[in-house]
């Protein structure tokens, strides 16, 4: 199954993505994680991404599109994959549609994990205390939420029009939400 997993920062996407991917035996492709790893290692990609990630802005489309295009053609993606944090702009969504079309392996489902804004800030500040991520400070959190609203939220409509959107309520216990996601995926 080829899945796009959407939702605002702090919705719990990453945690749920791990559970779903190990259940289905497919790789979780997190563009945020790929970028953070590159930043930790100080590679060229990491140096290019740093200022964007640290300010809560999006890394340029061409950079992340290139990453995903290569990654989904790796052998472990043959059975499917889950994209976590990509696409985040309409340009990325269009590029993804084009590349999956060219490969003859279109997306099966776009899941949107919905959580209200005020709940998100709380969760992100909590995570900041626990995980020590470079972009989990209050001003950067606000900026990431705004970036999400402006650039990524329109993708919900995009995938609704594509006819592959499934919406999941992201409020509840971890187990409840996993259950809802599995139901939405029919697994």
Instruction: Catalog residues that contact ligand ADP under the rule CB under 6 A.
Output: 9, 31-32, 35, 52-53, 56-59, 64, 85-86, 88, 92, 135, 144
The residue from 127, 129, 142, 182 that is catalytic is 127
Q: 127 catalytic, yes or no? A: yes
Q: How far is the CB of 9 from ligand ADP (least distance, A)?
A: 3
Nearer to ligand ADP, 70 or 104 (CB): 70
Vertex 17: Cα angle to 53 and 24 (nearest 5): 140
Residue of closest CB approach to ligand ADP: 32
Q: How far is the CB of 47 from ligand ADP (least distance, A)?
A: 14
Residue 158, preceding bond cis, omega within 30 degrees? no
The residue from 105, 123, 133, 182 that is catalytic is 133
Q: 13 catalytic, yes or no? A: yes
CA distances from 35 to 27, 78, 87, 121, 173 (A): 17, 23, 14, 22, 29
Q: 133 catalytic, yes or no? A: yes
- DSSP output for 23-37: HHT--EEEHHHHHHH
Q: How far is CA 108 from the centre of its chain?
A: 16
Q: How far is the CB of 135 from ligand ADP (least distance, A)?
A: 6
Helix, strand, coil fractions of the chain, as percent rounded to 5: 60, 10, 25
Q: How far is the CB of 89 from ligand ADP (least distance, A)?
A: 7
Nearer to ligand ADP, 126 or 183 (CB): 126
The residue from 2, 144, 166, 180 that is catalytic is 144
User: In angstroms, rounded to a whole number, what is the distance separating the alpha carbons of residues 182 and 104?
Assistant: 25
Residues in the chain: 187
Return the active site residues: 13, 88, 127, 133, 144
């Amino acid at each position: 199954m080829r899945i796009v997993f959407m939702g605002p920062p702090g919705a719990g996407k990453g945690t749920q993505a791990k559970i779903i991917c190990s259940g289905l035996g497919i790789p979780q492709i997190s563009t945020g994680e790929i970028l953070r790893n590159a930043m930790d290692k100080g590679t060229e990609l990491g140096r290019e991404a740093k200022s964007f990630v640290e300010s809560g802005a999006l890394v340029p489309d061409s950079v992340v599109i290139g990453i995903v295009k290569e990654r989904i053609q790796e052998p472990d993606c043959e059975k499917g994959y889950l994209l976590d944090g990509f696409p985040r702009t309409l340009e990325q969504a269009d590029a993804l549609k084009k590349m999956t079309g060219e490969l003859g392996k279109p997306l099966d489902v776009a899941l949107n994990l919905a959580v209200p804004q005020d709940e998100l800030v709380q969760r992100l500040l909590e995570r900041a205390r626990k995980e020590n991520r470079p972009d989990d400070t209050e001003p950067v959190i606000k900026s990431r939420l705004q970036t999400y609203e402006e650039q990524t939220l329109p993708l919900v409509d995009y995938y609704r029009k594509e006819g592959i959107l499934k919406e999941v309520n992201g409020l509840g216990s971890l187990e409840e939400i996993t259950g809802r996601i599995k139901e939405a995926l029919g697994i």
